[in-house]
Amino acid sequence: MDFEYSQKTKDLMTRLNAFMDQHVYPNEKTFIEQVAEGDRWQPTKIMEELKIKAKEAGLWNLFLPESERGAGLSNLEYAPLCEIMGRVIWAPEVFNCGAPDTGNMEVLERYGSPEHKEQWLKPLLNGEIRSAFAMTEPDVASSDATNIECRIQRDGNEYVINGRKWWTSGANDPRCKIFILMGKTDPDNPSRHSQQSMILVPRDTPGVKILRHLPVFGYDDAPHGHAEILFDNVRVPASNILLGEGRGFEIAQGRLGPGRIHHCMRLIGLAERSLEKMCKRALTRVAFGKPVAAQTVTLERIAESRIMIDQARLLTLKAAYMMDKVGNKIAAKEIAMIKVAAPNMALQVIDWAIQVHGAGGVTDEFGLSYAWAQARTLRLADGPDEVHRNQIGKMELSRYITADAMKAYSSSRK
């Protein structure tokens, strides 16, 4: 493995860092102020202005490997760029690289029909609309997606959708025009992984009822937000099904890999930024006659943060490398590993940064409490830690398993 960044990546990193310095960091307060003005669920002026600038600067759609529609970067090349964007929570959208759109665009690119691409992928890639992914349901443990109950039933040339979803991120944003919904087309299929399908549901279809937004530790994440939605006899054309009935899990495997690793790349940026804040504060704040930075406990935490961030970055790069070389399916273990490691690393680093800031750390003043809240959700979103650990553990065991051991293992689980 060669983790030296390519010349193309290095050039883009320089340009992206310059853009962040010139346009994003100076507008961090402006963004918050504009969200707070009037209706919080309306897009901000600053975001739309910066999107135009990013497009003009050629810093647009940097994700999307193996596609003529992207910037032609591999996952490995994209990783350090995504990290830079992740330093400011709302910045990825400026470059049309925000969640959940990147994962959704990859689904449309890989599994959409030419018509789906024309109608939905094109405006998404242009940054004209946004999208949401509706899988999780309030009534069932959705970390096990075979539990999902939402029904997708064929009726002539249409599908009829009935169910309730929650934590559909981005659905509150008026620019969100399309949902990718996972539900069951064949709940009686003996193969539990062939019961589900994914289907495109335009947000303005009759019967789509946004019931409420769900706050994260009190933050509303406006204008993006996370919604609870009722799908009440929602009818869409049969051609809206992605790939075909029963292929939902196959698509989920394809979607969740990139979506997960993008979260990890951004989290590394968020942790770097928090460490930067920790160091600057520790150098200037004096307690008991010396700067907080001179207290050995702080030095220890700074050192440990550096170690943890670099470890997480290397594992992210390895996962990205594997995705490029052997594909998302075979890279599943590395993706699962970093999906556990990155949020836990970021949470620890941010927590130490909060501690160095004293009570100021838990206010909105330094952006650390919001950063912590965001990082905490990623121990749940896109699959809880435990589910990924189970998967990693099983893969590890499978290297040693013999027929006898397999028998003993299976009978112990009955």
Interaction site with ligand FAD (CB under 6 A): 100, 133-136, 141-143, 167-169, 216, 226, 377, 380-384, 386-387, 390
Q: How far is the CB of 253 from ligand FAD (least distance, A)?
A: 15
CB of 382 to ligand FAD, least distance (A): 6
The answer to whether 351 and 197 have CB atoms below 8 angstroms apart is: no
C-alpha–C-alpha distance, residues 374 and 386, integer Å: 19
> How far is residue 16's CA from residue 162's CA, in Å, rounded to a whole number?
44
Beta carbon of residue 102, minimum distance to ligand FAD (angstroms, whole number): 12
Closest approach, Cβ 226 to ligand FAD, in A, equals 5
Cis peptide before 223 (omega within 30 of 0): yes
- By beta-carbon proximity to ligand FAD, the closer residue of 226 and 313 is 226
Structure tokens at 176: 């969100």
SS3 of 137, please? coil
In angstroms, give the least distance from the CB of 168 to ligand FAD: 5
Nearest to 305 by CA among 345, 333, 360, 265: 345
Closer to ligand FAD by Cβ: residue 142 or 316:
142
Taking each helix axis as running N to C, give the angle between helix 28-36 and helix 45-56, from 0 to 180 degrees, rounded to the nearest 10: 140
Q: Toward ligand FAD, which CB reaches closer, 179 or 352?
A: 179
In the complex, least distance from residue 377 CB atom to ligand FAD, rounded to whole angstroms? 4
As measured in angstroms, the least distance from the Cβ of 138 to ligand FAD is: 8
Longest dimension (CA), the chain: 78
Q: Which amino acid would we find at residue 277? A: K
* Sign, CA torsion 296/301/305/308: positive
| Angle, CA of 249, 253 and 256, to the nearest 5° | 120
Compare residues 207 and 384 and give the one whose CB is closer to ligand FAD: 384
Handedness of CA 368, 384, 302, 90 (dihedral sign): negative
Torsion angle defined by CA atoms of residues 392, 394, 398 and 404, in that order, rounded to the nearest 10 degrees? 160
Least Å distance between CB 198 and ligand FAD? Answer: 11
Specify the DSSP element, H or E, that contains 17: helix 7-19
Is the CB of 27 or the CB of 136 nearer to ligand FAD? Answer: 136
Least distance from ligand FAD to the Cβ atom of residue 381, Å: 4
CA distance 392 to 183: 26
Nearer to ligand FAD, 46 or 134 (CB): 134
- Rounded least distance, CB 217 to ligand FAD, Å: 10
Strand partners, 201: 179
Q: Burial-class residue 148 by CB neighbours within 10 Å (0-12, 13-18, 19+).
A: buried
Q: Which is nearer to ligand FAD, 357 or 379 (CB)?
A: 379
CB nearer ligand FAD, residue 140 or residue 243: 140
Q: Which is nearer to ligand FAD, 8 or 394 (CB)?
A: 394
Q: What angle is formed at CA 117 by the lines to CA 174 and CA 249, rounded to 5 degrees?
A: 90
CB of 36 or CB of 141, closer to ligand FAD: 141
Spatial contact of 14 and 57, defined as CB atoms under 8 Å apart: no
